[in-house]
Amino acid sequence: MTPPAPPGAWADLTGASPRWVRTVVYAALVGRLAALPLGLIVGAVWGEAGFAGFSGLIEAVDLRLILLAVVFAPLVEQLLVLVAVGILHWGLRLPPWPAALISAAGCCALHGLVPASILVFPLFALLGIVQINRARRGSLLAGFGLGVLIHALANGVAVLSALALGL
C-alpha cells in the first residue's frame, strides 16, 4: 500500500497541513506580496489621497515601531481575528472562507477607513482561515500562535523593507 501523498502548497498556505513552518512562511509572504498589486491599484485610482490615514505606512523605523509592528499588533490583531472567526464560523455557522473574509474586512477597518486599507485584506483573510483550520485540527491555541507568527513575520518583512529603503 502506498503512503498518502503529503499535503500540497494550498494546505500548507491555509494551515490545513501539519507543516506549520511552511504555513507561517507561505502565509506571511503571500499576505505581504498580495499587497503590492493592491497598492498599485489604490495608487492608480486614488493617488496619494488613497493612502492618507492608513496606519500600515511606515514613515520612520524606531524601537517603538518595531515593538508595535512585530509584537503588540500581531498579538492584539490575532486575538481580534480569533474572536471574529469564532463568532462568524462557530457561533453563526458561516462556512470557513466567508467567515475568514468577513473578519478580514473588519480588520481592514482597524488600519483606517481609506482605500489603502485593502492592502492588509489578504493577510487577514489568511490569518482567519489558518485560525479555523488549526482549530479543526484540534487546537485553537495553535491557530492563535501560528497567526501571531505569520503576522509578526509579515510585519517584520515590512519593517526590514523600510530599513532597506533608509526610512
How far apart, in whole angstroms, are the C-alpha atoms of residue 1 and residue 7? 18
CB 50, CB 42: distance < 8 Å: yes
The pLDDT value recorded for residue 131 is 95
pTM for the whole structure:
0.90
- Distances in Å between the alpha carbon of 82 and those of 22, 28, 79? 21, 17, 5
Give me the pLDDT at residue 2, please. Answer: 57
Is the backbone of residue 63 left (phi > 0), alpha (psi -120 to 50) or beta?
alpha
Per-residue pLDDT of 4-39, as tens digits, reads 656 788 999 999 888 899 999 999 999 999 999 999
pLDDT along the chain (167 residues), means of 10: 69 90 93 91 92 79 88 95 96 96 93 89 95 90 94 92 78
